[in-house]
Structure 1
Amino acid sequence: MKNLLANWRKSSWFASSSLDTRYALIEACLIGLFSALAAVLLKQGISWLGGWRIRTVHIVGAKIVLPLVGLILGTLAGAVIELLSPSAAGGGIPQVKAALAKYPIILNLRTALVKTLATILIVGAGFTLGRRGPTVHIGAALGAQVSRWIPNSPTNRRQMIAAGAAAGLAAGFNTPIAGVLFVVEELMRDISGLTLETAIAASFTGAVVSRILGSADLNVPLAVIDSARRGSFAPPEIPFYILLGILAGILGGVFNRAIIRGMKFSRRLPFPIPLRIGLAGLISGTIVAWLPPFFQDNAGLRELLIAGQFSWQMTALVFVAQFCLTILAYSAGAPGGLFAPALVLGSALGYLVGAAEVALISSESAYTFALAGMGAFFTAVVRVPVTAIIIVFEMTADFNLVLPLMISCAIAYIVAESVSQGSLYEHLLEASGIELTEEHPQNDFMAELTADDVMQSRVETFPSNLTLPELIQAMSRSHHRGFPVVEEGKLVGIITQSDIPEDSQKNAATLLKDIMTSQPISVSPDTSLADVLYLLNRYQLSRLPVTEGYRLLGIITRSDIIKAEAKQLNCEHQPKARFEPSYVVYQTRSPATGKGRILLPVANPENIQALVEIAGVIARYHQYEIEFLQVICVPNHIFPAQAGVETAKNRQLMQSLENWGSKLAIPVHTQIRVATDVSEAILETVAREHIDLLLMGWKSQTISIESIFGTVTDSLIKQASCDLMLVKLGKSPHAFPQERDLRHKWLIPTTGGDRIKKLLTILPPLAGLDCVPPKLQLCHIYPPDESKPSTNDFQQATELLRNAMNCPIIPLLIPSYSVSEAVVHLTRRKKYGLVILGASNEGMLQNAVKGNIPHAIARQTETTVIIFRSFNQ
């Protein structure tokens, strides 16, 4: 087993091992079983409801019952779909086709159950739609659900959806070969081994179980089959089969165009889906009530049509009525299929052509034309000639039909493509905004998502000077098996467990840099997942670092890609937040030599100097780059890329900041963006430039009662994927008061060591703002009713600060029920020059009864306040 798993890990991610294939085949058989049970349930439900409708018609009368039943049951079916599962609307095959093309279409057990119930209501109510198309949708939904219950690879999950669709068609028609061919010809257009094997297994199981449970096919009368078998294909009949193909192609193309236009018209109506379907049922029921009585029983009508029990005039009436009523029902979005209606319409058309052939050349029977017409019209509607031929052949088991079917279906396909190019299902998808073309038949999300969308941005890294025992100990504390190696913020290698020597005791003096893989293969953040996967397979890797230059941004593993594809197939994938597009009108770049990047939005000219000084000391201390950003806001109705804005003064300011960075040897980047929303422009910059620290100023004045720090600031606190430093300057235009004694007195309220660890990112560099070291007052506020407050965390915080800062540190315990009041009172009494607060996302945005503590302190003090929120919290 270990060798098997090892070989599986080394194989290509797309390839499936023999063990996976066996599991997939067992899973496919299980899907076939469920699909057959669903098909039988659907048939029995329609039969019961349809029988009740016919009996009620005989008692009350068709002109009352049929319109009311169509209205009530149609509205009920629409309400069930709208409330429980909107993805169950329509025929279902377009949804399956889109899901197999990797579009985020919902397929699950709920979809299958709602589709079953709604189809029973619709077909049982007398709508001229079939149940075979819905069985394909139900089977695919069950396949998707089973693939969630039974763990499998994402690739196999897609095969299971296709297998469920094949089983649904096979169970509906009792035609297992046609089920497989429909998947290959229309849904997936894939003949890979796994696709065929799973589709065959599911289709065979579905057909066998359906037949055991007594689910009939399209009810082709035995007399028709026997008559067709007695006949033989003769050359004089060829022109009539060609004529049948031409008529089927023309009428099938018109049928498709009418459905597409009908759906577009229906969607423009100011009615909800339930009412649209109910109105279609009312109209359909009213029309059927005025037609001859045999119209009231769909199943009986099909048998009579195929058997040729009507005169050619009545057959023509049936064709026209069925043609129009099917378009009406399907265009309204009713959950029913077109397979059975297309076959019935084809049989009527074929019988008409056959009747003409009998009258002209005295042929023995017109039944062969009726059966050939079924395949021809089915081909013209669905554009799957091979599947159409096999469906009719499997229902009759008559080789004499093969040549007539081939001629009629081939001609029908060519003519239909001339009238209305492309499959009906593709046109329906295009009307819903989903386009499948020959060049791009699938929505390959792996080509659309990038490494930046999937990577883990918080990465465990090791320095290159670790000794082998230290490395082993560090790796034992982590659940990861591979780690990037960094030196001065730059990626220099990667280490995995397999790189560790077997005899680690004899190599205790070995350093990590001696055994790591140097110059590892890496990808940029905009590399597509498809390219990432190619590199993983090409070089047999399990992970790839994501870098910008030599700077490590994150890491992406095989499991990250598998999870992304699984979420996509399950409609759970949520890419990183995308913002309203802003437009860059000015930008300068410096060499990307820093270990990180600070973003400083430049907005208020009064605090630019102080914020730039703070950004400068942090950048020098951490060897960061600085990104200066100015956002020019335009009204919502103006597209940013087309807005005419004046940027002369803004560019002068940016150039002065570039000169400032050049003097201090700090890499400075600048950009001016035009946007309709300032916060979205800043968040877009944070994401695009991989910002580590967002530094902002704040006036401590909030205009809106619904916001805490202001609408823009609140949004950034909540959404920015980086550390955030909010600075409220004191009355002095500079960072700190002018009095030297007050300028160097800092107050740091804290609750323990963890909060101080976060603040150590900014405290040491801030201490370098002046040559005189500051005096730090570290205070802990505790409730007065605690006789002996716990100070272990506070003592730990004090020690951490003393070890990190070369300056006096004075601890202070203050009893108070209100943290903000205690800090404000202490600040006013001792006149601190700076108050530094650590906070989390939740704490900074919480504005309940007690109020927001950082906000209250910053607003009520006249000194400078810095609020720091670490992204790791």
Structure 2
Amino acid sequence: MLVKGKIFWLRLSRTLLKPRRLAFFEACLIGLVSGLAAVLLGQAVEAAGAWRVNLSYRWPAYLVLPAIGLVGGFLAGWLVETFAPEASGSGTSDVKAVLARVPLPLNLRIALIKLISAILVLGSGIPLGREGPTTQIGASLANQLSNWVPTSPEHRRQLIAAGSGAGLAAAFNAPIAGVLFVVEELLQDVSGITLGTAILASLIASGLSRLYGSQSWNLGLDVAVSQTTFQFQEIPFYLILGLLAGLLGILFNKSILAGLAFNRRVLHLSLAWRIGLAGLVTGIAIALLPVDFRNNAGLKDILLSGQSNWQFAAIAFIVQFILIVICYGSGAPAGLLVPTLFLGAALGYLVGATEYSLLGIGVPTTYAHVGMAAFLSAVSKVPITAVVIVFEMTTDFNLVLPLMIVSVVAYIVADKIDHRSLYDLLLEWKGIYINKKPSGEGLLTQISATDVMQRRVETLSKQTTIDQAIQAFSDSHHRHFPVMEKGLIVGILTQTDLGNIDSQRISGDMTISEIMTPEPITVSPTSPLSYVLLLLNRHNINCLPVTEGRKLVGIITRSDIIRVEAERLSGKTDQQIEPKSAPSCVIYQNRAPAIGKGRLLVPLSHPHTAQTLLEMAGAIAKERNYELECLQVILVPRSRIPAETPVETARSHRLLQQAVQLGEDLHIPIHTQIRVAHDVAGAVLETIKERHIDLLLMGWKGNTSTPGRVFSRVVDTLIRQAACEVVLVKLDETKGFKRWLLPLAGGPNSSEAVQLLPALTSLSLSPEIKLYQVFQPNESNPDTTILDDSVRFLQRKINGTIEGIPVCASSVIDTVIDCAQNDQTDVIILGASRESLLQQVIKGNIPETISSKSDRTVILVRTDTV
């Protein structure tokens, strides 16, 4: 009952915690919370602003406005300085830095302080925007949520970007602009998960803002669409507007930095007093201006609704430009995007009024709308977002073409002078330089599990007894064994599981199915290492099986990840195929049911050897319950692109048809494919990686005339790089498979050769096998344990004669050749043994020499080296 309950909860958690599903659920929650925060901020600022304006009518404005500005600014600065210094400024640049993997804090504390301090600052009349606070609040809430409900590091970045996009969308009631701002400025990523989470969060946040906020898609405005016009003759003035916006946008950016530098170097005051003084100066300036300047939202309304003149627009531009620089330079916790839009509206109105006075055409309000996009594009270097945000606020198709013209011109002009956006400049002012080129920091997201996993996995059967499991752990250096049933993974057994058993409860027939962890946590071959590491840390485990469905294809441990990071840090990289070729192209493939425990790959090239190789592969596959993967490679010149080169496939299909027929006769699943490639070795290695091959069996001519090569260019590459067991066969078809000779010297390759013999000798009705162990003449008491154990193993597996013979000789090569000659051996099977011999196999000394000097069939076995 406990096991069933454990399985239920494991299945439920795995269903709910799938990374993509969890990311979209979190995006909805982020959009909801960010939207509510934006609504609260907006309504609180509107209420505070209305109270301030109303108070200025009842009492002397020259007293009320400066006093409110001083007190509101001081309180906001004190809150930020005392509880969350990270909340000062716009916050958008900080979010961008975090998304670039700069370790800056984003949490619930910052979100709360930003919300309260922004209400105080904006409500006291300081002419900054609420989009910066909503962006940082959304990102902070997203990051806090991702800490409460852990997700992968890459998904966390995407959720933070979605939270900031939701904050922007809620501030302007512009969901599309929120998504584009994420893609164009913050994350610069257009993957499906990024777009999906950003769209969901922005849509929900914008919907809530519209429902509980302004009830409109406009920027707090009610502008008649019919007031906007566009004529062909106006294009030169739109070009002039773009040019002016580009130049003044750069001036604005430089002025903001100058304001920050002035406060840092000249005003040696606390943050509270700096913001308080900025509020005081703002209050005095507004009190001296006409009453229309007391309400910042009212200023926008006047400009965009056509209730102003060019003098009003000019004064508004100059005064607001100066006040924005003063207030933001103080460190006030508010944004710059809304002020940027206002300055663009004032500039656009001036250009439109000039055109109307000179030519009598055009409407200044149209230019005011278009000017917003132009100035934003120049300042923030986001031309697409600039066009969309104004369009969403107006929903006027008449504006689309002029918006595109001025935004592109302003962007080009500003980018020519300084390619950095305002947010990049603000980060550099803080000493943060974002490298937009890929770096090693994202290493774990760039490498997948299939690149690192161990493909050769020691497993246990579900029916294994506790005593047998204990013996398996004592014989192996591994501390975890996947548990298999019918070729599928059903659990995992760790050393801890064995240690937790009450020894008094152990019975002789107790199996590991009673103590194993059922339904183990697994990863797919394509999972990035960042996600693998997240699962290892979240569940406090040291290894994860890698599966396709429930089929085990490998295992990955913490040590594997550490090894990869260490190799990259030390500058080591995996060897590449020599010479480097273009990727091969699969032009035909046929898949059978994936019901085997593993896969055996047979590259087919010559019709006269294909049948024998297939019979050998079929014998191994049947004995090991493997599936067969048959590959035919069609080579094309390196001057041609494989994916674009027409080829003739009739011969390839005839070769593969032999494999299909063999599979039907032996009842073995057969997968076939044809690849077009520059290089056979490259195509084989790509197939091994993509299809998770466990064993490669291929023909080998036995020698090579190529200088610097041991076996051949193809075989040398595969023997070094193939991440699976390799079996090379040099066929002599004049001889059969009756008499076998296997020299032993211990080690994994020799042991693997012994393991292969039961399958290979099934090609003969009555095989005769001789095992030779060669000892040096000076060894007085040779140890024949390996020889005796191998003989006993084969006697249990093979119905034939098996003989073990110790030989004293100084040359392994001469001994093997002489014994093969004397015994009339049909097949010599070689497995390199000790470390020195393993190096000789790689260099080719022993097998190449034996193969070239012997006229027998020679089989070379190399275990999985990964």
Q: TM-score, normalised by structure 2?
A: 0.52
CA distance in 1, matches of 2:289, 2:234: 34
CA distance in 2, matches of 1:225, 1:136: 29
Work out whether 1:256 is the aligned partner of 2:253. yes
**Which of 481, 487, 501 is the matching residue for 1:497?**
481
Corresponding residue of 2:22: 23
Q: Give the letter for the 2:212 counterpart.
A: L
Q: 1:364: Cα distance to partner? A: 4.4
Work out whether 1:225 is the aligned partner of 2:222. no
Structure 1 pair 497–217 and aligned structure 2 pair: CA distance change class (3 A): same
Report 1:451-600 matches (<5 A): 472=469, 493-498=477-482, 540-545=554-559
Q: 1:344: Cα distance to partner? A: 1.0
Corresponding residue of 1:347: 345
CA distance in 1, matches of 2:558, 2:125: 59
CA distance in 2, matches of 1:396, 1:314: 23
CA distance in 2, matches of 1:218, 1:7: 44
Corresponding residue of 1:158: 157
Q: 1:199: Cα distance to partner? A: 0.7
Corresponding residue of 1:366: 364
Structure 1 pair 377–156 and aligned structure 2 pair: CA distance change class (3 A): same
CA distance in 2, matches of 1:332, 1:205: 34
Structure 1 pair 72–199 and aligned structure 2 pair: CA distance change class (3 A): same
CA distance in 2, matches of 1:277, 1:54: 20
Report 1:684-723 matches (<5 A): none
Q: Give the letter for the 2:556 counterpart.
A: S
Given that 1:39 and 1:210 are in contact with CA atoms closer than 8 Å, whether structure 2 keeps it comes out as yes
Structure 1 pair 531–163 and aligned structure 2 pair: CA distance change class (3 A): closer
Work out whether 1:52 is the aligned partner of 2:37. no
Report 1:420-439 matches (<5 A): 420-439=418-437
Work out whether 1:78 is the aligned partner of 2:92. no
Structure 1 pair 530–33 and aligned structure 2 pair: CA distance change class (3 A): closer
Q: 1:224: Cα distance to partner? A: 4.2
Corresponding residue of 2:113: 114
Report 1:540-689 matches (<5 A): 540-545=554-559
CA deviation map 1:449-501 (0-9, x unaligned): xxxxxxxxxxxxxxxxxx996784599xxxxxxx9x99xxxxx9534222799
CA distance in 2, matches of 1:294, 1:532: 58
Structure 2 runs not aligned, ≥5 long: 1-5, 447-463, 488-492, 494-505, 510-528, 537-542, 548-552, 567-866
CA distance in 2, matches of 1:106, 1:264: 24
Work out whether 1:320 is the aligned partner of 2:318. yes
Structure 1 runs not aligned, ≥5 long: 10-15, 449-466, 476-482, 487-491, 509-527, 554-873
CA distance in 2, matches of 1:220, 1:366: 19
Given that 2:139 and 2:163 are in contact with CA atoms closer than 8 Å, whether structure 1 keeps it comes out as yes
CA deviation map 1:357-404 (0-9, x unaligned): 112222142221111101001111111110110011111111111110
CA distance in 2, matches of 1:68, 1:143: 36
Structure 1 pair 307–541 and aligned structure 2 pair: CA distance change class (3 A): same
CA distance in 2, matches of 1:307, 1:343: 15
CA distance in 1, matches of 2:76, 2:151: 34
Q: Give the letter for the 1:265 counterpart.
A: F
Given that 1:375 and 1:392 are in contact with CA atoms closer than 8 Å, whether structure 2 keeps it comes out as yes
Given that 1:172 and 1:217 are in contact with CA atoms closer than 8 Å, whether structure 2 keeps it comes out as no
Q: 1:135: Cα distance to partner? A: 0.8
Corresponding residue of 2:279: 281
Corresponding residue of 1:244: 241
Q: Give the letter for the 2:401 counterpart.
A: L
Structure 1 pair 416–237 and aligned structure 2 pair: CA distance change class (3 A): same
Corresponding residue of 2:634: none
Q: CA RMSD in A?
A: 3.9
Given that 1:257 and 1:420 are in contact with CA atoms closer than 8 Å, whether structure 2 keeps it comes out as no
Corresponding residue of 1:185: 184
Corresponding residue of 2:403: 405
Corresponding residue of 2:144: 145
CA distance in 2, matches of 1:48, 1:194: 38
Corresponding residue of 1:724: none
Given that 1:42 and 1:116 are in contact with CA atoms closer than 8 Å, whether structure 2 keeps it comes out as yes
Secondary structure at the aligned position of 1:104 is classed as: coil
CA distance in 2, matches of 1:369, 1:339: 18
Secondary structure at the aligned position of 2:168 is classed as: helix
CA distance in 2, matches of 1:135, 1:191: 23
CA distance in 2, matches of 1:93, 1:442: 25
CA deviation map 1:785-830 (0-9, x unaligned): xxxxxxxxxxxxxxxxxxxxxxxxxxxxxxxxxxxxxxxxxxxxxx
Corresponding residue of 2:578: none
CA distance in 2, matches of 1:8, 1:78: 44
Given that 2:154 and 2:445 are in contact with CA atoms closer than 8 Å, whether structure 1 keeps it comes out as no
Q: Give the letter for the 2:282 counterpart.
A: S
Give aligned-pair identity as a percent. 45
Given that 1:82 and 1:273 are in contact with CA atoms closer than 8 Å, whether structure 2 keeps it comes out as yes
CA distance in 1, matches of 2:121, 2:218: 18
CA distance in 2, matches of 1:445, 1:332: 39
Given that 2:344 and 2:376 are in contact with CA atoms closer than 8 Å, whether structure 1 keeps it comes out as yes
Structure 1 pair 357–3 and aligned structure 2 pair: CA distance change class (3 A): farther
Secondary structure at the aligned position of 1:87 is classed as: helix
Q: Give the letter for the 2:23 counterpart.
A: A
Given that 2:62 and 2:284 are in contact with CA atoms closer than 8 Å, whether structure 1 keeps it comes out as yes
Q: Give the letter for the 1:50 counterpart.
A: G
Q: 1:306: Cα distance to partner? A: 1.5
CA distance in 1, matches of 2:74, 2:100: 31
Q: 1:117: Cα distance to partner? A: 0.5
Structure 1 pair 32–239 and aligned structure 2 pair: CA distance change class (3 A): same
Number of aligned residue pairs: give it. 493
Q: 1:310: Cα distance to partner? A: 2.1
Work out whether 1:266 is the aligned partner of 2:280. no
Q: Give the letter for the 2:421 counterpart.
A: S
Given that 1:220 and 1:306 are in contact with CA atoms closer than 8 Å, whether structure 2 keeps it comes out as no
Q: Give the letter for the 1:252 counterpart.
A: G
Given that 2:172 and 2:219 are in contact with CA atoms closer than 8 Å, whether structure 1 keeps it comes out as no
Q: Give the letter for the 1:225 counterpart.
A: V
CA distance in 1, matches of 2:486, 2:477: 20
Corresponding residue of 2:201: 202
Work out whether 1:419 is the aligned partner of 2:403. no
CA distance in 2, matches of 1:4, 1:20: 17
CA distance in 2, matches of 1:205, 1:312: 39
**Which of 381, 384, 402 is the matching residue for 1:383?**
381
Corresponding residue of 2:175: 176
Q: Give the letter for the 2:226 counterpart.
A: D
CA distance in 2, matches of 1:408, 1:62: 39
Structure 1 pair 82–506 and aligned structure 2 pair: CA distance change class (3 A): same
Given that 1:123 and 1:129 are in contact with CA atoms closer than 8 Å, whether structure 2 keeps it comes out as yes
CA distance in 2, matches of 1:176, 1:46: 21
Which moves more between the two structures, 304-313 or 196-205? 304-313
CA distance in 1, matches of 2:288, 2:483: 83
Report 1:752-771 matches (<5 A): none
Given that 1:133 and 1:339 are in contact with CA atoms closer than 8 Å, whether structure 2 keeps it comes out as yes
CA distance in 2, matches of 1:162, 1:276: 31
Q: 1:444: Cα distance to partner? A: 4.4
Corresponding residue of 2:64: 65
CA deviation map 1:172-200 (0-9, x unaligned): 11111111000000010001111101111
Corresponding residue of 1:88: 87
Structure 1 pair 471–334 and aligned structure 2 pair: CA distance change class (3 A): farther
Corresponding residue of 1:756: none
Structure 1 pair 420–474 and aligned structure 2 pair: CA distance change class (3 A): farther
